[in-house]
Amino acid sequence: MPIPGRRTLHGLFLIALLALLSACSSLRLAYNHGDTLLYWWIDGYVDLNTDQKGWVKKDIDELFRWHRKTQLHDYMQILQTAQRQLAAGPTQADLESDYDEIKNRTQLLLFKALPELADLARSLQPDQIAALERKFAANNAEFRKKNMKGDREAQQKFRYQKSMEQFELWFGNFTSEQEAQIRKASDARPLDNELWLDERQRRQKAILSAVRKVQQEKLGKDATMALLHTLIKDAFDRMEQPSERKAFFDQAEEGNIQLILTVIRLATPAQKAHATKRMQGWIDDFKQLAAEQR
pLDDT of residue 11: 38
Please report whether residue 144 resides in a domain. yes
Q: How many Cα atoms within 13 Å fall on the side-chain side of residue 152?
A: 6
Alpha-carbon gap, residue 188 to 191, rounded angstroms = 9
Is residue 33 assigned to a domain?
yes
Nearest C-alpha neighbor of 157 from the set 167, 147, 166, 143: 147
Give pLDDT tens digits for 233-270. 998 888 788 889 999 998 998 898 899 999 999 999 99
pLDDT of residue 33: 84
Domain of residue 165 covers 9-291
267 is a domain residue: yes
Handedness of CA 112, 116, 121, 127 (dihedral sign): negative
Local confidence band at 192 (pLDDT 50, 70, 90 cut-offs): very high
* The pLDDT of residue 253: 85
Tell me what the mean pLDDT of segment 31-44 comes to: 90
Measured from the Cβ of residue 188, the count of other Cβ atoms closer than 10 Å reads: 15
Inform me whether the pLDDT recorded for 1 exceeds 60: no
Q: Is residue 2 included in any domain, yes or no?
A: no
Predicted pLDDT of residue 22? 45
Residue 3 lies in a domain: no
- For residue 50, how many other CB atoms are within 10 A of its CB? 6
Q: Is residue 154 part of a domain?
A: yes
Task: Report the mean per-residue pLDDT for the chain.
Answer: 88
Query: What global pTM score does this model have?
Result: 0.87
| pLDDT for the residue numbered 294 | 65
Nearest to 19 by CA among 84, 86, 11, 236: 11
For residue 1, tell me if it sits in a domain: no
State pLDDT tens for residues 99-151: 788 888 888 888 999 999 999 999 999 999 999 999 999 999 999 999 999 99
Type of residue numbered 109: L
How many domains are there within the chain?
1
Residue 248 lies in a domain: yes
